């Protein structure tokens, strides 16, 4: 496998078979005998076939768990950095298990990997929206690994870029990522509040899809307790009320649904004008909003 002169005379699929078996062999031999596998591992990492590299990238998280942070820092992190800049077919194997892999590293290597996350925003084929969808899903896991300042510096820009994606599925999954980031920024209220303010600027965006996304963001932030009642009333609610008269019907419907559900969540009391329930049918949401807008204005002060 590692001798080029011999590799020409064996099955061309031998690399894939070796890559598939690598985690099991590493687990059987244990950390003590990893040096016996290191040369083979390095040969697989640099194999000319992307399918072989894809398999290695896909099992990198298993190797990190088996070998521990010290060996992972020495042998796996350099491979990780190379895979990040590989072809998309290889990178997707790494990305799908990114959170799991980073958990197996020491804190120093976890932080060292942060600047590389933005590289996942660049793809060989921009039509491959599922790659970006996977990145948004991984952000939810990565948020638990870092402190609020690192989240704000490295993860927030990635999430903000994904919120601008042309594909609705990616934007909607990015909303989940945003709520996870906000949850893990709670210990830095000023930084978190500024992020909330930045998100709320979407209410004035020229693109109607971004104004619609603003409504979804507010709704999710309210239900996930990522936004205080004061922030909802002072920052988000005035913008929502202005969107009631938006020229795009889809935005008005999203605004109506957001108002109906978030006011029930953030309002006081269950029997008053701010306490009607969730789960309204789309056809009657607008009627509920017409009844609650005066109450909204009163609460907003």
If pLDDT is split at 50, 70 and 90, which confidence band does 282 have?
A: very low
Asked if residue 92 belongs to a domain, the reply is yes
pTM of the model: 0.84
Kindly state whether residue 38 falls inside one of the protein's structural domains: yes
Q: What is the pLDDT of residue 229?
A: 83
d(Cα 298, Cα 292) in Å, to the nearest integer? Answer: 10
CB distance 87 to 54 below 8 Å: no
6-10, 64-68, 100-104, 178-182: least confident range: 6-10
Task: Tell me the residue range of the domain where 82 lies.
Answer: 1-112
The number of domains in the chain is: 1
Residue 167: inside a domain: no
**Within a domain: residue 242?**
no
CA-CA-CA-CA dihedral for 53, 57, 58, 62, to nearest 10: 130
> Does residue 139 lie in a domain region?
no
With contact defined as beta carbons under 8 Å apart, do 117 and 159 qualify?
no
Residue 26 lies in a domain: yes
For position 285, what pLDDT does the model report?
A: 44
Q: Residue 255's closest CA among 198, 206, 208?
A: 208
């Amino acid at each position: 496998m590692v001798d080029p002169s011999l590799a020409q005379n064996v099955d061309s699929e031998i690399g894939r078979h070796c890559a598939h078996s690598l985690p099991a062999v590493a687990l059987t031999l244990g950390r003590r005998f990893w040096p016996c596998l290191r040369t083979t591992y390095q040969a697989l990492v640099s194999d000319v076939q992307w399918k072989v590299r894809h398999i290695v990238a896909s099992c990198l998280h298993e190797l990190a768990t088996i070998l521990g942070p010290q060996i992972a820092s020495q042998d796996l992190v350099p491979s990780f950095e190379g895979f990040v800049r590989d072809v998309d077919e290889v990178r997707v194997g790494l990305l799908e298990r990114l959170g799991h892999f980073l958990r197996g590293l020491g804190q120093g290597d976890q932080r060292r990997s942060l600047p590389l996350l933005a590289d996942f925003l660049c793809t060989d084929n921009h039509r491959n929206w599922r790659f970006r969808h996977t990145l948004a899903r991984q952000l939810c896991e990565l948020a638990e690994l870092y402190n609020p300042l690192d989240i704000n510096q490295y993860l927030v820009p990635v999430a903000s870029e994904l919120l601008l994606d042309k594909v609705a599925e990616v934007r909607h999954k990015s909303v989940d990522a945003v709520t996870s980031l906000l949850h893990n920024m709670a210990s830095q209220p000023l930084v978190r509040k500024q992020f909330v303010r930045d998100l709320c600027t979407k209410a004035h965006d020229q693109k109607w899809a971004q104004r619609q996304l603003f409504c979804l963001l507010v709704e999710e932030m309210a239900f996930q307790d990522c936004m205080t009642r004061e922030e909802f009333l002072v920052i988000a609610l005035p913008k929502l009320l202005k969107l009631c008269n938006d020229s795009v019907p889809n935005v008005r419907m999203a605004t109506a649904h957001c108002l109906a559900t978030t006011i029930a969540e953030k309002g006081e009391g269950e029997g008053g004008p701010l306490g009607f329930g969730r789960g309204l049918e789309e056809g009657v949401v607008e009627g509920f909003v017409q009844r609650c807008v005066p109450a909204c204005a009163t609460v907003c002060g």
